[in-house]
């Protein structure tokens, strides 16, 4: 089983920090699990890493909310009202409890100024690393800057990359859970990875994980109508985290499609649409047959 390497520190403003204790380094914990002797060691490392990774999600939302608000105020001062209002909406979207942004939007008196959680790099480092840091060279993100558009774009990219790297971490734990037959826990982490990366199905790293997560089988779709075949394929594909389709060929009367199934299904499960009927037959939790009947249009 090949677990996925992650490179997350540079997206968490930690690219130049040398950890005093490796157990506080999410990237190190995940990548060490690639060389662990057994599943127990892998789970210990991955559990420790996942316990530390969630806190950064709220950090990114609060930080983005703060800088969208700063840009909004700057635009208001420049008389660019519509652009400023758009930035207020972005600010509120990132943090629905941003009272200052809500007050500005509703033309109310501002009673509470919205402040950054970590006003200097050392305070952020202590949050991020859980280590006591008496002094450290500042990071550019915490130095005085007034190009709010650039800051917002940088935060947006870091937030996105954080999500994708965190998704890899959860996929790793899902693979280990699947290997030790903890199917429910594996499914939970698969869902978590999908929530973190909305484009998961199209990611190369997900393709690398699929063989260790899913049951693989092949089916035939038979129809004279390519548009119906396309509809059948789309129907299966839209069962999010249920099926992943590989290399469908819809140009022939007989279409062979590779499918990876993530669903825990009943012994006999039927799904019906207007033109497609899918039958899956199980015996002792093993898929023994699958057939798809494509109805006449």
Q: What is the pLDDT of residues 101-120, one digit of tens each?
A: 999 999 998 888 999 999 99
Together in a domain, 191 and 289: no
> Helices 26-33 and 148-179: crossing angle, nearest 10°?
30
Q: Whose CA is closest to 93, among 53, 60, 127, 115? A: 60
Together in a domain, 86 and 40: yes
pLDDT at 252: 45
> Helices 39-53 and 55-77: crossing angle, nearest 10°?
30
> What are the start-end ranges of the H helices in 214-269?
226-237
- Give the mean model confidence (pLDDT) for residues 65-87: 97
Among the candidates 193, 213, 233, a domain finishes at 213
Together in a domain, 69 and 26: yes
Q: Give the lowest-confidence range in 1-5, 62-66, 231-235, 251-255.
A: 251-255
Residue 227 and residue 297: Cα distance in Å, rounded? Answer: 10
Whether residue 57 has pLDDT greater than 80: yes
- Tens digit of each residue's pLDDT (9 = 90 or more) over 249-296: 544 444 555 556 665 544 444 554 445 566 655 566 555 555 666 554
Q: Whose CA is closest to 26, among 40, 4, 6, 42? A: 6
Together in a domain, 119 and 239: no
Together in a domain, 140 and 250: no
pLDDT at 142: 94
pLDDT at 213: 83
Together in a domain, 144 and 80: yes
The number of distinct structural domains making up the chain is 2
pLDDT at 144: 84
Among the candidates 180, 213, 246, a domain finishes at 213
- Tens digit of each residue's pLDDT (9 = 90 or more) over 134-176: 899 999 999 888 899 999 999 999 999 999 999 999 999 999 9
Together in a domain, 69 and 107: yes
- Tens digit of each residue's pLDDT (9 = 90 or more) over 165-188: 999 999 999 999 999 989 889 888
Q: What are 129's two structure tokens? A: 């690393």
pLDDT at 183: 84
Together in a domain, 251 and 285: yes
- Give the mean model confidence (pLDDT) for residues 233-251: 53
Q: How confident is the model at residue 244 (pLDDT cuts 50, 70, 90)?
A: low
Q: How many CB atoms lie within 10 A of CB 27?
A: 20
Together in a domain, 86 and 173: yes
pLDDT at 224: 54
Residue 176 and residue 193: Cα distance in Å, rounded? Answer: 14
Q: How confident is the model at residue 54 (pLDDT cuts 50, 70, 90)?
A: very high
Q: What whole-number percentage of the chain has pLDDT above 90? A: 60
Together in a domain, 79 and 159: yes
Together in a domain, 57 and 182: yes
Whether residue 80 has pLDDT greater than 70: yes
Q: How confident is the model at residue 229 (pLDDT cuts 50, 70, 90)?
A: low
SS3 244: strand
- Sequence-distant (6+) residues with CB within 8 A of 224 are 253
C-alpha distances in Å from residue 62, one per residue of 20, 91, 133, 166, 248: 27, 9, 23, 18, 43
Among the candidates 213, 240, 266, a domain finishes at 213
Together in a domain, 177 and 260: no
Residue for token digits 């450290």? 136
Q: Is 64 exposed, middle or buried (0-12, 13-18, 19+ CB in 10 A)?
A: buried
pLDDT at 95: 97
| Structural domain boundaries enclosing 65 | 1-213
């Amino acid at each position: 089983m090949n677990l996925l390497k992650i490179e997350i520190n540079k997206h968490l403003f930690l690219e130049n920090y040398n950890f005093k204790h490796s157990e506080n380094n999410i990237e190190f914990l995940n990548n060490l699990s690639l060389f662990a002797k057994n599943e127990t060691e892998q789970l210990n490392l991955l559990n420790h890493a996942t316990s530390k990774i969630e806190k950064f999600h709220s950090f990114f939302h609060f930080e983005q909310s703060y800088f969208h608000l700063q840009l909004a105020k700057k635009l208001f001062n420049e008389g660019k009202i519509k652009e400023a209002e758009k930035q207020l909406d972005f600010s509120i979207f990132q943090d629905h409890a941003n009272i200052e942004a809500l007050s500005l939007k509703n033309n109310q008196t501002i009673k509470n100024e919205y402040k950054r959680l970590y006003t200097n790099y050392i305070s952020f480092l202590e949050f991020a690393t859980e280590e006591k840091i008496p002094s450290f060279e500042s990071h550019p993100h915490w130095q005085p800057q007034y190009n709010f558009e650039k800051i917002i774009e940088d935060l947006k990219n870091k937030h996105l990359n954080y999500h994708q790297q965190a998704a890899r971490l959860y996929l790793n734990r899902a693979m280990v859970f699947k290997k030790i037959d903890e199917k429910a826990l594996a499914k939970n982490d698969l869902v978590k990875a999908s929530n973190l990366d909305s484009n998961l199905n199209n990611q190369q790293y997900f393709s690398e994980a699929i063989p260790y997560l899913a049951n693989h089988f092949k089916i035939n779709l038979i129809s004279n109508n390519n548009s119906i075949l396309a509809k059948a394929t789309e129907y299966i594909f839209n069962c999010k985290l249920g099926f992943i389709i590989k290399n469908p060929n819809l140009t022939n009367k007989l279409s062979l499609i590779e499918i990876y199934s993530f669903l825990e299904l009943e012994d006999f499960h039927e799904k019906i649409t207007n033109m497609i009927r899918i039958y899956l037959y199980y015996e002792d939790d093993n898929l023994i047959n699958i057939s798809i009947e494509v109805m006449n249009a």
